[in-house]
Chain A
Amino acid sequence: MSEPAPLLRTRALGVGLAGRSFCRDLELTVRGGDRVAILGRNGAGKSTLLSVLAGLRQPQAGEVLVDGARYEQLGARASARLRGWLPQDRSETFSSTVLETALVGRHPHLARWDWESERDVRLARQALAAVGLTELERRDVQTLSGGERQRLSIATLLAQAPRLYLLDEPLAHLDLNHQMATLELLVALARERQVACVMVLHEPGLALRFCTHALLLFDDGRVEQGTCDEAISSDSLSRLYGYPLREVTDQGLRWFMPA
């Protein structure tokens, strides 16, 4: 019996932008339950890589397979039921309520003439509750703070209920308690529903604590990847960020501080 196809697999993937190459021949395999942290400096190509993985941008070489199929084979709608993507920044041109925005996540589950059902509304409300936005359900999104908007984006993604979460800086704008709550939520999803997460993070200590794997994207296009324990060390991080880092251990938790 063959093993089920991994949720995400890249073959000889080359990613670049405007004449620059961020990585070449990337072989990445992500299975249900995995949490992969992408670490790297500003401009190293983390967001570009993530949007290629999400099928929003064409790779320079190689291919991306989601559940064993390319995005073009799946089509936009079926793709959207498999993978969700959290944008790095999000601006709303027109006003709409918080609940309406979370309901947008149900789009790929609705047929062309369907109107959102009570079940869809219930799922959207559950998603809002999971990120602590229940009280703000009727607020206009244009009046939300940056952190609230970020949590709303996460709620939209939860309502979409994909199996593969691709998150571009999920902790951006969040205060400390919501950073931890968000990561705990993602870990719980991975454990209970076997979803996979690939996320861009800036804090190696949080990557160690909440992720299973790490992918280090160097400025010169080199990539180091492996389990968090393999890939994350004060040595590799110092080379990655170009700044010496020192490891600190407290009650079994490893953190890295600028030396």
Chain B
Amino acid sequence: MPTRRRALLILAALLGLAQASIVLALMVGSLSLAPGEVLAALWGNDYGVAGEVVRSLRLPRALTGFACGGLLALAGALLQVLLRNPLADPYVLGISGGAGIGALLAIVLGWGAGGVNGLAFVGALGAMLLVFGLAHGEGGWTQSRLLLTGVIVAAGCGAVVTLMLAIAPDDRLRGMLFWLMGDLSQSGEPQLVMVLLVVVLLVALPFARELNLLARGADLAQALGVEVRPLRRGVYLLASLATAAAVTHAGAIGFVGLIVPHLVRLATGNDQRLLLPASALAGGSLLVVADTLARTIVAPQQLPVGVLTALIGVPVFLFLLSRAAPARR
């Protein structure tokens, strides 16, 4: 267990990393900028092309990416505790599937970015309520029942998504595939997700020590003074909303929500008081870096960011896993 001081130091370091990732995202692109130029553009002293590019193109995209990455990592960390399953990720309960149906439908209908986001959110909310209602049943829900219900609903959504891909007109396919792999190029305004990231974190943090207990088992947590029922519902709602918001803005970006909590856990231990904020910062940074690479590696063409998160995350994760194994014995 980290001391409070050590936790704050780790968070300060991660905050620095987050800022560095955003500055990098602002510097790199078809128009390369020096750090000084980026700062000048940010403070609004630069009314030229550079200022315009930084303020209205790169900054919103970087902030949206950061917020979505943070939300996904937070949702993953919360769901791994809720389901007591290290394999849980934000999409395991079918939220991305529901959002996918909504988004693809909007794309097939030829709606703009706003329509796609709106319908994706409706789909995510629908899947969330469906899983919650079905899993609740009589006598409250158990972890395995919630997990099974979620997996089945996700599978059903997956089938519908495949069906839509099969019958969609060719000219829409590329957009649909990009959405499914996660894509920040149409992400829109960052304010909403940024606020949501802060809100989710602020709501979750006071319950972090109770989440530590929940991770050790519901009965044990109850016996040690945690009101388990309301806590579980709250965590489910919070994680679902975080996922829905992220998926709505950036598509079903894989990997961040599964791997970032594990990365942080391997590096700092499983204390949710540190794990939750650290996951948010690390997840945001990872997504910003991945998105920066996605739009520059084969520029002017853009890659789906979901591919990059996996390509960066897999080797880092495997390295940490092999390094941590001897110490835990």
> Is B one of A's binding partners?
yes
* Closest A residue, CB atoms, query B81: A94
Task: Check if B86 sits within 8 Å of A104, measured CB to CB.
Answer: no
Within the complex, what minimum Cβ distance (angstroms) separates A93 from chain B? 5
Task: Check if A113 sits within 8 Å of B1, measured CB to CB.
Answer: no
- Does A216 make an interface contact (CB < 8 A)? no
Knowing A90-B220, A94-B215, A104-B213, say if A116 contacts B1 (CB, 8 Å). Answer: yes
Knowing A90-B217, A94-B270, say if A107 contacts B209 (CB, 8 Å). Answer: yes
Interface residue from B209, B220, B265, B270 paired with A87 (Cβ < 8 Å): B220
* Cα distance, A196 to B84, chains bound together (Å): 32
Task: Check if A104 sits within 8 Å of B217, measured CB to CB.
Answer: no
Stretch of A61-69, A72-80, A176-184, A218-226 on the interface side: A72-80
Chain A residues lying within 8 Å of B220, measured Cβ to Cβ, are 85, 87, 90
Within the complex, what minimum Cβ distance (angstroms) separates B180 from chain A? 30
Task: Check if B224 sits within 8 Å of A140, measured CB to CB.
Answer: no
Chain B residues lying within 8 Å of A54, measured Cβ to Cβ, are 223
- Does A60 make an interface contact (CB < 8 A)? no
Chain A residues lying within 8 Å of B329, measured Cβ to Cβ, are 140, 143
* Cα distance, A107 to B223, chains bound together (Å): 10
Interface residue from B4, B206, B224 paired with A105 (Cβ < 8 Å): B224
- Does A147 make an interface contact (CB < 8 A)? no
- Does B219 make an interface contact (CB < 8 A)? yes
Task: Check if B328 sits within 8 Å of A140, measured CB to CB.
Answer: yes
Count chain B residues whose beta carbon lies closer than 8 angstroms to a beta carbon of A.
30
* Cα distance, A51 to B270, chains bound together (Å): 28
Chain A residues lying within 8 Å of B265, measured Cβ to Cβ, are 94
Most chain B C-beta atoms within 10 Å of own C-beta, residue among A76, A81, A95, A112 = A76
Query: What 0/1 pattern do residues 197 to 232 of B give for CB contact below 8 A with A?
Result: 000000000100110110111011011111110000
Interface residue from A51, A76, A93 paired with B85 (Cβ < 8 Å): A93
Chain A residues lying within 8 Å of B213, measured Cβ to Cβ, are 104, 107
Chain B residues lying within 8 Å of A56, measured Cβ to Cβ, are 219, 222-223
Query: What 0/1 pattern do residues 1 to 25 of B give for CB contact below 8 A with A?
Result: 1011000000000000000000000
Chain B binding surface, main DSSP class: loop
Task: Check if B4 sits within 8 Å of A115, measured CB to CB.
Answer: yes
Question: How many residue pairs, one in A and one in B, have C-beta atoms under 8 Å apart?
Answer: 81
- Does A96 make an interface contact (CB < 8 A)? yes
* Closest B residue, CB atoms, query A143: B329
Task: Check if B223 sits within 8 Å of A143, measured CB to CB.
Answer: no
Chain B residues lying within 8 Å of A77, measured Cβ to Cβ, are 225
Query: What 0/1 pattern do residues 236 to 280 of B give for CB contact below 8 A with A?
Result: 000000000000000000000000000001000111010000000
* Closest B residue, CB atoms, query A153: B220
* Cα distance, A160 to B223, chains bound together (Å): 10
Interface residue from A76, A115, A116, A143 paired with B225 (Cβ < 8 Å): A76
Chain A residues lying within 8 Å of B3, measured Cβ to Cβ, are 115
- Does A103 make an interface contact (CB < 8 A)? yes
Within the complex, what minimum Cβ distance (angstroms) separates A132 from chain B? 21
* Cα distance, A110 to B225, chains bound together (Å): 10
Knowing A140-B328, A143-B329, say if A93 contacts B215 (CB, 8 Å). Answer: yes
Task: Check if B224 sits within 8 Å of A94, measured CB to CB.
Answer: no
Task: Check if B206 sits within 8 Å of A79, measured CB to CB.
Answer: no
Within the complex, what minimum Cβ distance (angstroms) separates A25 from chain B? 25
Task: Check if A93 sits within 8 Å of B84, measured CB to CB.
Answer: yes
* Cα distance, A51 to B222, chains bound together (Å): 11
Chain A residues lying within 8 Å of B216, measured Cβ to Cβ, are 90, 92-93, 101, 104
Query: What 0/1 pattern do residues 128 to 158 of A give for CB contact below 8 A with B?
Result: 0000000000001011000000000000000
Task: Check if A85 sits within 8 Å of B223, measured CB to CB.
Answer: yes
For residues 218 through 238 of chain A, which have their beta carbon under 8 Å from a beta carbon of chain B? none
Within the complex, what minimum Cβ distance (angstroms) separates B112 from chain A? 43
* Cα distance, A96 to B216, chains bound together (Å): 10
23 contacts between A and B (CB under 8 A): A51-B219, A54-B223, A56-B222, A76-B227, A76-B228, A84-B223, A87-B220, A93-B85, A93-B216, A94-B265, A96-B1, A96-B270, A103-B1, A104-B216, A104-B224, A105-B224, A107-B209, A107-B210, A107-B226, A112-B209, A113-B206, A115-B3, A140-B328
6 tightest Cβ-Cβ pairs between the two chains A and B: A80-B225, A108-B225, A85-B223, A77-B225, A115-B4, A94-B270
In the complex, besides A80-B225, A140-B328, 11 extra interface pairs with C-beta distance below 8 angstroms are: A76-B222, A76-B227, A80-B224, A87-B217, A90-B217, A94-B265, A96-B1, A104-B213, A104-B216, A115-B273, A116-B1
